[in-house]
Structure 1
Amino acid sequence: MHVAVGSTNPVKIEAVERTLERFDPTVTAAAVDSGVPEQPWSVAETADGAETRARRALDATDADYGVGLEGGVARFEGVPGLSLIMWAAVTDGNRTERGSGPTLRLPDSVARRLEDGAELGPVMDDLLGTNGIAESEGAAGVLTDGLTDRKRALGEAVACAFGPFRTTHYRS
């Protein structure tokens, strides 16, 4: 199975490799644009970015599947604060499936900076005195004290988006 990931971020690539490892995939990174802002601000925008990445990755390669991963932020009715969200999309060119990863409330100080126009990765780097947190444990790892990390969280989204291609339960 050949899978193209719509990103060159090593965390996204490893999330796909780790999640699909039992299928022994060949995973190719494809540098594609998400078609959404650097900091998506809703479920719709984040899922759209993942879908665009998946389609463009498939189109740019000879892979069997294109996978797109996108992180964003959103507010949910009845849930306090601003939440970090993660979405994946998988396409074989005929069909596209979507799945989300964990949702995590962001600290108010981080949320305020995002509301002022900043992007999560650089805000977290500034807060932690790091560089490239989005290519390592991510905000998910830092904000859960390692109970999860960006790779695992994105992997859950990949599993949920890829599952319908692997089981017969979604066939009409």
Structure 2
Amino acid sequence: MELAVGSTNPVKSTAVERTLERYEPTVTAVAVDSGVSEQPRSIEETVRGAENRARRALAATDADFGVGLEGGVARLEGSPGLSLIMWGAVTDGDRTERGGGPTFRLPDTVAEQVADGSELGPVMDDLLGTEGVAESNGAAGALTAGLTDRTRALGQAVASSFGPFVTEYYDADD
């Protein structure tokens, strides 16, 4: 199975490889424009970024599927504060499926900076005294004390968006 991932971030390619390992995937990272802001700030914008990445990665390759992964932040009804959200999209060129990954409430000090316009990655780097947290354990790893990490969290978005292609419970027309 040939998969094109719409990002050159190695965490995203690894998330796809690990999550879909039973299908023995060949994963190609493709630099594409998400078509959304660097820090998506709603569920809608985050999903649109994942969809754009999936479609553009597929269009740039001869892969069987294009995969897009996007992290964003959003205020969720019924939940306090600002949350980190993760969405995935998978397309075979005819249909596109979407699925979410874990959601994490951001600490107030982080949420305030992001709400004021900062991007989450650099804010987390400052908090942790690191560089490139988005290409390692990510905010997910830091905010759960390692109970999960960015690769596993994004893997859940991959599984949720790829599931309809590999189970008989969905019609292609759903």
Interval of TM-score (by shorter of Structure 1 and Structure 2): over 0.9
- SS across alignment from 1:63: coil
For the residues of structure 1 that align with 2:137 and 2:105, how far apart are their CA atoms? 16
Task: Indicate whether 1:34 and 2:9 are aligned.
Answer: no
The equivalent residue for 1:44 is 44
Cα displacement (A) at 1:116:
1.1
The equivalent residue for 1:155 is 155
For the residues of structure 1 that align with 2:83 and 2:46, how far apart are their CA atoms? 12
Q: Deviations over 1:98-132 (max 9, x none)?
A: 00000000000001101111000010001111000
The equivalent residue for 2:118 is 118
Q: How many residues are paired up?
A: 172
- SS across alignment from 1:27: strand
Cα displacement (A) at 1:17:
0.2
The amino acid that maps onto 1:114 is V
For the residues of structure 1 that align with 2:152 and 2:78, how far apart are their CA atoms? 26
The amino acid that maps onto 1:123 is V
For the residues of structure 2 that align with 1:162 and 1:14, how far apart are their CA atoms? 15
The equivalent residue for 1:82 is 82
- SS across alignment from 1:158: helix
Q: Deviations over 1:74-93 (max 9, x none)?
A: 01111101000000000000
The equivalent residue for 1:129 is 129
For the residues of structure 1 that align with 2:108 and 2:153, how far apart are their CA atoms? 21
Runs of 4+ residues deviating >6 angstroms = none
For the residues of structure 1 that align with 2:53 and 2:67, how far apart are their CA atoms? 7
The amino acid that maps onto 2:16 is V
For the residues of structure 1 that align with 2:146 and 2:128, how far apart are their CA atoms? 15
The amino acid that maps onto 1:55 is R
Cα displacement (A) at 1:29:
0.3
- SS across alignment from 2:99: strand
The equivalent residue for 1:141 is 141
For the residues of structure 2 that align with 1:101 and 1:154, how far apart are their CA atoms? 6
Task: Indicate whether 1:14 and 2:10 are aligned.
Answer: no
What TM-score do you get using the length of structure 1 for normalisation?
0.99
Over aligned residue pairs, what C-alpha RMSD do you find? 0.6
For the residues of structure 1 that align with 2:110 and 2:142, how far apart are their CA atoms? 13
Cα displacement (A) at 1:168:
1.2
Flag structure 1 segments of 5+ consecutive residues without an equivalent.
Answer: none
Flag structure 2 segments of 5+ consecutive residues without an equivalent.
Answer: none
The equivalent residue for 1:106 is 106
The amino acid that maps onto 2:104 is L
Identity value in percent: 76
Q: Deviations over 1:30-79 (max 9, x none)?
A: 00010000000011000000000000000000000000000000011111
